[in-house]
Structure 1
Amino acid sequence: MKPLTVTDRPAPATGRAVWHRRAALLPAGYLGALAVLAFAHPFAPDWYWLAVHLLLLGAATNAILVWSAHFTAAVLRVPPPPHRRGEILRLAVLNAGVVAVLTGGGTDRAWLGLAGAAAVFAAVAGHLAWLAARLRAALPARFAVTVRYYSAAAVALLTGIPAGAWMLVADSPVRARILLFHAHVNLLGWIMLTVLGTVLTLWPTVLRTRMDPAAVTAARAALPAATSAILLVTIGVLAWWPPVAASGLALFAAAVTITAIPAARTALHKPPDSFAAWSIAAGTGWLLVALAVDAATLLTARTAGAAADGFGAVLTPLLLGSVAQILLGALAYLLPMALGGGPARVRERTTALDRHGAQRLAMTNTALLVLMVPAGPYVRIALAFLLLAALVQFLLPAVRMLLTDRRQAS
């Protein structure tokens, strides 16, 4: 084997690389648990609820806390922290809460779920306070709007958590409305506001090109539209005024489109050529599909209960099509970069995560398209296994990369 030269030799792991390697194991662990649940779901009565919360509360929320802090420090040009004790504490509290929520919700131990919800609330409140402190202390920055997206997203989750906790212990005629409120404020607020804020700077970076000149202006215009949209949706589902909720969804779609136009121009200038870029692009497209399906579901349901029962049709494009694909695409780009080790190691990791990327994307999105139309149970089972196979194809090299780098650093 050719000996390593000075330029080829992997650079020693930095404190940032060690941190991101360890932090990345958290969302990877929840995604792995989601894959295990796919095989064990016949033995888990509440498997669907568990699957949704493993993806959103487990994988996505951990990724958001870690990477929103990273991007906040980058766009505000905050000096590297002397330690990460505060961030470690927030993640520890968050994951203790997530495990308690999953355990309590899956075993009908309401008190445990409530304690877990309180812990998640405390962790996100601490994260919001950290974001606010960084904004106050920072000098004016061009991309500060990204941090405002993160702050609005955290406020949305803090609003949605009590609704979820209430549903663990109460059953009433308005339960369906609370469920719809909880789902919309968390998905559109916590997840999608974070996505819109991050894609502003992440998208041109993934494409390795310059940002469109209108991107920042578009992001600033889209934020009040998106937050107003969430307010309309939540009022509409709580009061059960479907036209109001549907108008909110239309406004949110308009906000997404405002940010997507400069992103599309950037892609025309430098077309996507990686799994990360195509996965993020596909996830954005599925978000618009999900918003349309959501509006149709609300407008055609006679009652809030019927809308809640039909919300599964919305979750397929929203969770599997949008959230999961954007999450995997972002991780496919960010992990190789954050783990450091020099350009050669970054290229090696990126190549590993890009391997069979076209096949995974085609398999995932074809399966999702077929799932959107009526199909027999055996067809749906086969499609679910295709989606699971695509997830495992990503997880195996990602976990191998994290564990290999850990051994090399130790």
Structure 2
Amino acid sequence: MAWNTSAKLGNYLQKSPLEKMYAKCMFKRLGARSTKRPATWHSKTSRLITWWLIALVIAGLSHIAIPSYRWTLIHMFTLGALTNSIVLWSQHFTEKWQHSSPTATFYRVFVWRTYALNIAILLTIIGKIFAVPGAFLVGATSVSLLLAWHGVQIARQITWGKRFTHSSLAFMASAFSLAVGAILGLLVGRGHTDLLRAHLLANFGGFVGLAAMGALSVLFPAMWRTKIRWDLTKYALIVAIIGLLLAVKFYEVGVLVYAFAWTLALIGFLSCLPPVLRDPRDRISFPAVSALAAVIWLIGSLLRLADGHLPTLGLLVGFGAQLLIGTMSYLLPTTIGGGPTAVRAGLRELNRAALFRSTIINGGLLVWVFASNSWLKVAASALVCLCLAYLLVGVPRAVRAQRAAMAQRGADNAGVDKAGEPRWGQVTAGVALLCALALVFGGNTAPAPVSTPVAATGETTRIDLTMHNMHFMPSSVTVPAGNRLIITVHNNDTQIHDLVFPSGSTTGRMQPGATTELDAGIISTSTEAWCSIAGHKMQGMTLQVLVDDESSPAPATPQQPTQQRPKDATDIPHAVDATLAPAPAGKVHEVTIDVSEVVIDGRGRWTFNGGLQGPVLRGRVGDEFRVRFVNHGSMAHSIDFHAGIVSPDQVMRPINPGESLEYNFRAERAGIWLYHCGTMPMSMHVAAGMFGAVIIDPPDLAPVDAEYLLVQSEVYGLTGSAENPVDPAKLAAGTPDAVVFNGMENQYVAHPLQLRAGQTARFWVLDAGPNRSLSFHIVGAQFHTVYHEGAYVLRNGVGGAGGTGGGAQALGLLAAQGGFVEAHFPEAGTYTFVNHQFIDAERGARGQVVVAP
């Protein structure tokens, strides 16, 4: 349970007035004040936080298989773990600090409201990532209403004049902030991009930030086991709310005011530390260091946010995750209680390797922010996650230790040692481990070309650079040798871009409209910088930096790309179902197409709805298609339906991550039509898998025994990542590693199409490209019907000129063309279908039709 109010705190807590008050509020035995309070309400709701953290770890390990995994992981943490934590502890602290006396009914309602909140959170996440109709709307609206209800309940418990009334008011404002932020998130999901910043500020600045500031006003000095000299949080909360309101109209000014509020609070927090520096003892603990570091990360992230960047890592991990894990490491033992000895036992378990873990968490985050080597980033982030995840191991250990200590109460408690001096060697070990990672992963890059050293002049060259229409303007700059180059970069394009130098200096990804300053360092030789987002460099987003005493750098000698071996039939455990269902009934077809960047069967793909190719849409002439297009990728994407006659200005525009649009069209003409991403470079986006088929049946389509769909496309690079699925050199050279039907080479050799002797089949065929043509042929069969680009070339042996008894051997298609052929299979056997341009058949554009007797 918790400490008795009469328990002696001994050496664990100082006898300051603040600590006495905190012990009285926090540590008295649960239920001692009121017999109406159910003993399990706290445990019922607190275990939800642990479940969300476990789910987050599992999702993180399997993120490749999760659609829109970045959005999913972020919201599992913020909407799942953080929201449950804030709702639980805001009620706990308000009740203690306001000396309220909720009834048993209140607690039952609180528990069920918390369960309903988690159902709403699950609906929101599932509805978003799987595009479940109505789920996202219902979930987000329910989250908003339930948090508003929680805010009202907090307000009803507030008594004016109490010492910590301002903290309870912060909890109330926090709850209402998420009520607003959830609705803003719903609107952002529907394409209102101007609300994205407001969504971020309401949720993270209002909900998380205000709750954190209100709680830390008491928790910070308690964690450091000292008293606060200058309690500035009351004033900081007022300034923070003013900053959030200002940000609605004056974004940068509001964020800076909000950052100043946290700086003001930090000054007050730091006034706690002089006694700690004079007498550290066991005061320098994991919860205490985590709270201090989290506030510093928040202030730094806010300054970056005001400068036009989105410091996701700093906000989520440096501030949010570190503060959550740190405070839980302190609060759980003190809430379980059992007396001073028992609480010390629990805190000891959660404080193991405290300074080592804190060093790895904060040092690892700095490595991630400033390192350019991707493997070093992965290694550092893995260590950070392991140190944060220790909570899931430490909590059961702490519970067991406290129970054991309570069982020995009155006996010999010497087994629970008092903590000693801070173990500074753990800091050294953490720094040494991070340095070792830097040497291992940062030192294995190829040596830079030898160049003549140039002495620094001590002068600085400053330039303005604009990103627009997939180009840098200017595209080249001249700098005196030895000058430092400072570039002010403006993203005036509609897409996300960045600027990267070979040295690793980078702007980071810049949202449309953002401005930032990049220090490119001392320029001693001519070099080239570029946009690192996949395909943008190929589109011409390069910047030539020339020194004034050198000629332009000689162009590199082009190298022939190395071809990779496509999969053979033995490597393919499953195949895309090529069977085509009839057109659904009804004149209106509604569909959601969701962009995600994933790895499928070991290959990076940019996908429509997570498949090797987009979903098949089928209808009849006159049908209406209502498409909701959602971008959950990491860059701008778009969609272009050849089946519709629409103005491209709005519906085909690129949309940035988190945005969506409505694309409606009416099928005016029959045929098989391509749809694809139209964002430049189009060849890369199509080659990455962003294409699909729309089939509009001709009015007099004859019945057949089976229908199949085969879409040819090309694969450039067989080992790409989700971020870079296409080899740009091979794409530019026009040398695909594989040419495939329905997204994977040779899959219908491993898993043939099935027919029976005497059956007739229709094969709808589309060439998605992006570059190569198709000559579709079935070995051993002839086509009695050929439909090419909306017209019958041959129908039941009758040609367009009226001749009878004719047949066809191949359907020829250029990129973006389509049609169908019909063939009769009178005899059992294995019939191979191929692209009769045999080099492409040998690259994988082949399959089999097995005809059973």
Bucket of the pairwise TM-score, normalised by the shorter protein: 0.7 to 0.9
* Native 8 Å contact 1:157 1:186 kept in 2: yes
Contact map agreement 1:25 1:399 (CA 8 A) in 2: no
Structure 2 match to 1:275: 286
Aligned mates of 2:234, 2:336 — CA distance in 1: 31
- Aligned twin of 1:30: 52
Distance in 1 between the 2:65 and 2:194 partners?
Answer: 29
Shift of 1:24: 2.1
Match of 1:239 in 2: none
Instruction: Tell me which residue corresponds to 2:344.
Output: 347
> Given that residues 185 and 234 in structure 1 are in contact (C-alpha distance below 8 angstroms), is that contact kept between their aligned partners in structure 2?
no
1:45 corresponds to = 67
Task: Say if 2:236 is the partner of 1:204.
Answer: no
Supply the AA of the counterpart residue of 1:72: T
Question: What residue number does 2:111 align with?
Answer: 88
The offset of 1:37, in angstroms, is: 1.4
Tell me the distance in 1 between the aligned counterparts of 2:74 and 2:243: 23
TM-score for the superposition, normalised by structure 1: 0.84
1:336 Cα shift? 0.2
1:72 match: 94
Tell me the amino acid that sits aligned with residue 272 of structure 2: T
Change in 2 beyond 3 A, CA 1:13/1:248: closer
Q: Once the two structures are superposed, what CA deviation does each residue of 1:173-220 show, in whole Å capped at 9, x if it has no partner?
A: xx33222221121100000011111111111111222232x31xx222
- 1:182 is the counterpart of 2:199: yes
Code of the residue aligned with 1:53 in structure 2: it is H
Instruction: Tell me if structure 2 keeps the 8 A contact 1:17–1:340.
Output: no
Partner of 1:289: 300
In the TM superposition, residue 374 of structure 1 has moved relative to its aligned partner by: 4.6
Query: Which residue number in structure 1 is paired with residue 531 of structure 2?
Result: none
CA contact (8 A) 1:97 1:119 kept: yes
Q: Distance in 2 between matches of 1:399 and 1:251?
A: 41
Task: State how far apart, in whole Å, the 2-side matches of 1:55 and 1:154 are.
Answer: 17
CA distance in 2, matches of 1:90, 1:408: 35
- Is the CA contact 1:207–1:277 (under 8 Å) kept in the aligned structure 2? yes
- Paired with 1:234 and 1:403, the residues of 2 have a C-alpha distance of 49
Aligned to 2:370: 373
Cα distance in 1 for residues equivalent to 2:401 and 2:79 = 27
Q: 1:152 aligns with which of 163, 169, 173?
A: 173
Letter in 2 for 1:369: L
| Stretch of structure 1 that moved more, 93-102 or 75-84 | 75-84
Structure 1 contact 16–338 (Cα < 8 Å) conserved: no
Query: In the alignment, is residue 100 of structure 1 matched against residue 138 of structure 2?
Result: no
1:248 has 2:248 as partner: no
**Partners of 2:41 and 2:111 within 8 A in 1:** no
Work out which of the residue numbers 199, 215, 229 in structure 1 matches 2:243: 229
**Partners of 1:163 and 1:79 in 2: CA distance:** 35
After superposing the two structures, state which structure 1 stretch, 319-328 or 220-229, moved more.
220-229
- The number of residues matched between the two structures is 369
Secondary structure of 1:211's match?
coil
Deviates more, 1:16-25 or 1:147-156: 16-25
Letter in 1 for 2:62: A
State whether residues 159 and 185 of structure 1, in contact with CA within 8 Å, keep that contact through their aligned partners in structure 2. Answer: yes
Higher normalized strand content (fraction of residues)? 2
Equivalent residue letter for 1:248: G
The secondary structure found in structure 1 opposite 2:104 is coil
Q: Provide Cα deviations, 1:293-343, integer angstroms capped at 9, x if missing partner.
A: 1112x2xxxxxxxxxxx52xx111111000111111110110001112222
Unaligned residue ranges in structure 1 (runs of 5+)? 1-6, 236-243, 299-309
What is the root-mean-square deviation of aligned Cα atoms in Å?
A: 2.5
- 1:306 maps to none
Could you give the per-residue CA deviations for residues 42-62 of structure 1, whole angstroms, max 9, x where no partner exists? 111311111111111111110
Q: 1:87 Cα deviation (Å)?
A: 1.2
The one-letter code sitting in structure 1 at the alignment partner of 2:269 is A
- Higher Cα Rg, which structure: 2
Structure 1 residues 167 and 400: CA distance shift in structure 2, 3 A: farther
Structure 2 residue runs of 5 or longer lacking an equivalent are: 1-6, 8-27, 32-36, 278-282, 407-853
SS of 1:278's equivalent in the other structure is: helix
Q: Which one has more relative contact order, counting CA pairs under 8 Å at least 6 apart?
A: 1
Match of 2:41 in 1: 19
Relative to 1, partners in 2 of residues 1:19 and 1:338: Cα closer, same or farther, differing over 3 Å? farther
Query: How do 1:121-160 residues align onto structure 2 when only pairs under 5 Å count?
Result: 121-135=144-158, 138=159, 140-160=161-181
CA distance in 2, matches of 1:127, 1:347: 33
Distance 1:403 1:121 in 2: 38
